[in-house]
Amino acid sequence: MSDRKPAEWPANIRPEKTQDWDAFKESDTEAGIQVNDDFERFEQRNDMFCRSQWDEKIATKAAMEFWRGHRKPNFRKGDGFRQRDFALRNASWVMASSIMERGFSEGIREGFTDDIKQFHPPDSNKVKIESVEDMTREIKQVAKYFGADLVGITEYDERWVYTSKFNVRTKEESPVALPEGLTSVIMVGHAMEYDIIKSMPSALASTAVGKGYSTEAAIVMHIAQYIRNLGYEAVGSMNDTSLTIPQAIKAGLGEYGRHNMLITRDFGPRVRISKIFTDMPLYHDKPIKFGVTEFCEECRRCYEACPVDAITGGPPTNSGHNKSNVDGVEKWTTNCEKCFGYWTALRTDCAICMRVCPYNKNFSKWYMRAARWLAGTALRKLMLWLDIRLGYGERDMPQKWWSGDYQKLK
Amino acid sequence: MSDRKPAEWPANIRPEKTQDWDAFKESDTEAGIQVNDDFERFEQRNDMFCRSQWDEKIATKAAMEFWRGHRKPNFRKGDGFRQRDFALRNASWVMASSIMERGFSEGIREGFTDDIKQFHPPDSNKVKIESVEDMTREIKQVAKYFGADLVGITEYDERWVYTSKFNVRTKEESPVALPEGLTSVIMVGHAMEYDIIKSMPSALASTAVGKGYSTEAAIVMHIAQYIRNLGYEAVGSMNDTSLTIPQAIKAGLGEYGRHNMLITRDFGPRVRISKIFTDMPLYHDKPIKFGVTEFCEECRRCYEACPVDAITGGPPTNSGHNKSNVDGVEKWTTNCEKCFGYWTALRTDCAICMRVCPYNKNFSKWYMRAARWLAGTALRKLMLWLDIRLGYGERDMPQKWWSGDYQKLK
């Protein structure tokens, strides 16, 4: 796509290739990721959120209203969009915002365009790692202790790291200055509540998103600081710095879904993903397969449910819809211009695709785990038929959550 | 005690009495709190942490080393005090610190000496509260959604609010500038993990404390921002601004224990407490009684276990040991100079008293709930004998937690 590199692109910050990308082929195949010859690393400025700051096509009045609504919402009468719904959504962001806003005056947005700045440098005493296996287990234990719902580790792979980062204030780009010598990326999954997501789309349901970000900011900072306190380098990261999904798949957190989201075994697509880049010696996980690809080939519930037709009903393709898509990876690709356009119309984020996904279930129940297993077998068509028949994926009225019979389920 | 008001005290910031203190007598009695005629409000500068900044008696070399260890720990060879133990403890503080350090250069320590500054002012539209009962239920639901383990509401009572706040940088005092018109205090309890507390004292066990603070900072900010987004005033508070225990007792979170800690029904003494001051109309809770006072009268496990004899084995008294105690309230009073002295010797905080308390149990198990009930009856002596006999309260080796068979229990 010719419009991806405007003339003003500062060529000098473009990173050198420092890894042998062909060496990733085998593990790509194992993970079901097909990277083609025309693949190029992604420019952060082209993600939808950045584009809403500089691209006239995206930075519409509605988009500005969408952002402004995180402070001064235009609440309305409809269930799920009242003052208390927006009040809860905006309150849910408070911790993520407190981290994000630390560098606000310089246009730095930790966790969104920039990695999270740690307080304490790595300890001058590097712990001696006698067993990489034990250390890997320890890091995962610590991650879980600090609240991670899922944790997996993959090798550092520069292909997914952004070519540059974007400054929302100056609208300029600067290098993604990761430390040298990184070897691993610890991928962390954060579950969002099943019952609140059921009222998607609504300001109420978006609360799960804000709370997810707030929680993941804390968890990723705890884990990264732990590693640094052991004397190793660790960079905490949320939406910033690199694409997360290919890394999450390779770290064994789940499979890729038609709706462009990671589908995990324990929480389906109902997760946020964060990551810690590190040079600590750690073992890497293997990708998992539980039938998602085959199921998504049959299932088109997200495609059918999307009100703006942003999700593809067809097979995977190599090329995306616009500059916000990654080209050169064979995959289902969402039209995020349409998607974000709907968010701005709603004045809150939408995840109908997450709600209707047959993998969006409460897997703490044994029969849901049984259904998940069957969805991974030749009975997948039957399971899909049953899922629709039983009314799963239908929207709950936000009022139901507020009525107080809410129980915390993940 | 004559040394409580030094000559340099700036008399002009001393707050006026604005409430009729006699009007609290009835609810005090109901809560088992006896406030005597010589009661005076507490000065924040006299709490142990503030004194470690200005009082030569407390600001010893060991105390400085204790504080410094939160960044540059002196780890040692003993189990529970190794690099990974301190690494985990210091990592656990990261979110509380990120809030606390925002005003560092001005000597402001949000959540510790100063209340937590919110991002967004109260919404200009004050939601109409048609039913105070419904609103009270809603606030509690929201608090639980954001992760509160316990929540209760009590009336605003200036007796517990500090006369002034202390600036750790300038060593000066300034007024506790709470907004006018506050009517309620929402008291929030945050459980700490049973199995990690079992290794008290150790740097590992102190991780539960740091994580508790980090979690409570988030929760209190979420709740306060929610109330503000509904158009009401809300001030988020952790250790700052006021004493928490009398307010927590009056809000029905638990009873007062011999070890000077709140004993809750669900988590015993294993909780941190935070609070939100608000002018939102809310119903107030009643104190609860489940036999703690009578049990503590018999039980002296905390007194016997304290290595520096900081806890009293005798009956409640009206007057404390030194300026860090509140005078004029009839209660068991710990000698916090001795207590903090032991922390500085250990280079980490101690809560042996919390570990050995017979109410420090995992009450998710039915037989523990049964034991708790029996401890509240005439069988309390038998229950105490049994508790010791069965070895409860003994210290787990920190290694046990690290060994990986750790399960998250509250």
- Buried-state track B40-75, b at ≥16 Cβ within 10 A, e below 16: ebbbbbbbbbbbbbebeebeeeebeebeebbeebeb
Task: Kindly indicate the confidence band of residue B407, based on its pLDDT and cuts at 50, 70 and 90.
Answer: very low
Q: What angle do CA B222, A218, A362 make, to 5 degrees?
A: 80
Nearest to B84 by CA among A137, A275, A285, A217: A137
Cα B362 to Cα B309: distance, rounded to the nearest angstrom? 27
What does the pLDDT read at residue A282? 98
Task: Kindly indicate the confidence band of residue A405, based on its pLDDT and cuts at 50, 70 and 90.
Answer: low
Q: What angle do CA A136, A137, A140 make, to 5 degrees?
A: 90
Cα A342 to Cα A104: distance, rounded to the nearest angstrom? 27
Q: pLDDT tens for residues B335-363?
A: 999 999 999 999 999 999 999 999 999 99
Q: Report helix angle A203-229 to B83-92, nearest 10.
A: 150
What does the pLDDT read at residue B236? 97
Helix (H) or strand (E) holding A151: strand A150-155
Cα B376 to Cα B296: distance, rounded to the nearest angstrom? 10
Say if A13 falls within a structural domain. Answer: no
Q: Which domain holds residue B58?
A: 26-394
CB of B140 within 8 Å of any CB in chain A?
no
Using the predicted structure, report yes or no on whether residue B10 has a pLDDT greater than 70: no
Interface contact A223-B402, CB threshold 8 A: no
Q: Which of B86, B125, B221 sits opposite A94 (nearest CB)?
A: B221
Nearest to B386 by CA among B374, B395, B398, B396: B374
Q: Give Cα A399 to chain centroid, integer Å.
A: 28
Task: Kindly indicate the confidence band of residue B121, based on its pLDDT and cuts at 50, 70 and 90.
Answer: confident
Cα B240 to Cα B114: distance, rounded to the nearest angstrom? 5
Interface contact B95-A221, CB threshold 8 A: yes
The DSSP letter of residue B268 is B
Say if B279 falls within a structural domain. Answer: yes
Cα A296 to Cα A376: distance, rounded to the nearest angstrom? 10
Residue B161 neighbours by CB distance under 10 Å: 22
Using the predicted structure, report yes or no on whether residue B93 has a pLDDT greater than 50: yes
Report the mean per-residue pLDDT for chain A: 94
Helix, strand, or coil here: A153? strand
Cα B178 to Cα B241: distance, rounded to the nearest angstrom? 9
| Chain A residue numbers touching B141 (CB-CB < 8 A) | 402, 404, 406
Residue of B nearest to A145 (CA): B408
User: What average pLDDT does this structure show over A192-213?
Assistant: 97
Percentage of chain B modeled with pLDDT above 90: 91
Using the predicted structure, report yes or no on whether residue A152 has a pLDDT greater than 60: yes
Say if B5 falls within a structural domain. Answer: no
Task: Kindly indicate the confidence band of residue A224, based on its pLDDT and cuts at 50, 70 and 90.
Answer: very high
User: What average pLDDT does this structure show over B258-272?
Assistant: 98
| Chain B residue numbers touching A102 (CB-CB < 8 A) | 98, 102
Using the predicted structure, report yes or no on whether residue A410 has a pLDDT greater than 50: no
Nearest-10 Cα torsion for A17, A19, A23, A29: -70
Say if A15 falls within a structural domain. Answer: no
Nearest to A255 by CA among A410, A41, A30: A30
Beta-strand runs (E) in A234-384: 234-237, 254-256, 262-264, 271-278, 329-330
Single pTM value for the model: 0.95
Using the predicted structure, report yes or no on whether residue A172 has a pLDDT greater than 70: yes
* B231 in Cβ contact with B194 (< 8 Å): no
Using the predicted structure, report yes or no on whether residue A4 has a pLDDT greater than 50: no
Interface contact B145-A408, CB threshold 8 A: yes
The DSSP letter of residue A88 is H
Q: pLDDT tens for residues B233-251?
A: 999 999 999 999 999 999 9
Burial of A52 (0-12, 13-18, 19+ CB in 10 A): buried
What does the pLDDT read at residue A237? 98
Q: Is the dihedral of CA A145, A147, A151, A157 positive or negative?
A: negative
Q: Give Cα A330 to chain centroid, integer Å.
A: 19
User: What average pLDDT does this structure show over B145-158?
Assistant: 98
Q: Which residues pair with B271 in a beta bridge?
A: B191
CB of B90 within 8 Å of any CB in chain A?
yes
Say if A24 falls within a structural domain. Answer: no
* B229 in Cβ contact with A91 (< 8 Å): yes
Cα A90 to Cα B147: distance, rounded to the nearest angstrom? 16
What does the pLDDT read at residue A5? 44
Say if A270 falls within a structural domain. Answer: yes
Domains held by chain A: number: 1
Say if B400 falls within a structural domain. Answer: no
Using the predicted structure, report yes or no on whether residue A2 has a pLDDT greater than 80: no
Q: pLDDT tens for residues B287-342?
A: 999 999 999 999 999 999 999 999 999 999 998 999 999 999 999 999 999 999 99
Nearest to B319 by CA among B29, B3, B6, B38: B38
Report the mean per-residue pLDDT for chain B: 94
* A326 in Cβ contact with A243 (< 8 Å): yes
Interface contact B94-A137, CB threshold 8 A: no
CB of B206 within 8 Å of any CB in chain A?
no
One-letter amino acid at A87 equals A
Nearest to A88 by CA among A404, A402, A374: A402
Chain B: give the shortest CA distance to residue A231, in Å: 9
User: What average pLDDT does this structure show over A238-245?
Assistant: 98
Cα B72 to Cα B90: distance, rounded to the nearest angstrom? 9
Interface test with B, best of A71, A74, A81, A94 (most B CBs within 10 A): A94
CB of A99 within 8 Å of any CB in chain B?
yes
* B199 in Cβ contact with B396 (< 8 Å): yes
User: What average pLDDT does this structure show over A217-240?
Assistant: 97
Residue with tokens 């941190």: B272
Interface contact B102-A102, CB threshold 8 A: yes
Chain A: give the shortest CA distance to residue B354, in Å: 21
Using the predicted structure, report yes or no on whether residue B410 has a pLDDT greater than 50: no
Q: pLDDT tens for residues A64-116?
A: 999 999 999 999 999 999 999 999 999 999 999 999 988 889 999 999 999 99
Q: pLDDT tens for residues B376-402?
A: 999 999 999 999 999 999 999 999 999
Residue of A nearest to B102 (CA): A102
What does the pLDDT read at residue A12? 65
Using the predicted structure, report yes or no on whether residue B48 has a pLDDT greater than 80: yes
Say if A320 falls within a structural domain. Answer: yes
Nearest to A156 by CA among A34, A37, A23, A278: A278
| Chain A residue numbers touching B226 (CB-CB < 8 A) | 87-88, 91
Using the predicted structure, report yes or no on whether residue B6 has a pLDDT greater than 90: no
Interface contact B119-A98, CB threshold 8 A: yes
Chain A: give the shortest CA distance to residue B229, in Å: 5
Q: How far is CA A336 from CA A44, A46, A310, A410, B304, in A?
A: 14, 11, 7, 27, 65
DSSP sequence for A91-105: HHTHHHHHHHGGGGG
What does the pLDDT read at residue A9? 52
The DSSP letter of residue B272 is E
Percentage of chain A modeled with pLDDT above 90: 91
Inter-chain Cβ pairs, chain A and chain B, closer than 8 A = 131
ipTM above 0.90, yes or no: yes
Q: What angle do CA A326, A332, A338 make, to 5 degrees?
A: 75
Chain A: give the shortest CA distance to residue B208, in Å: 10
Q: pLDDT tens for residues A367-403?
A: 999 999 999 999 999 999 999 999 999 999 999 999 9
Token pair of A244 as six digits: 């997360």
Nearest to A173 by CA among A100, A107, A96, A243: A107
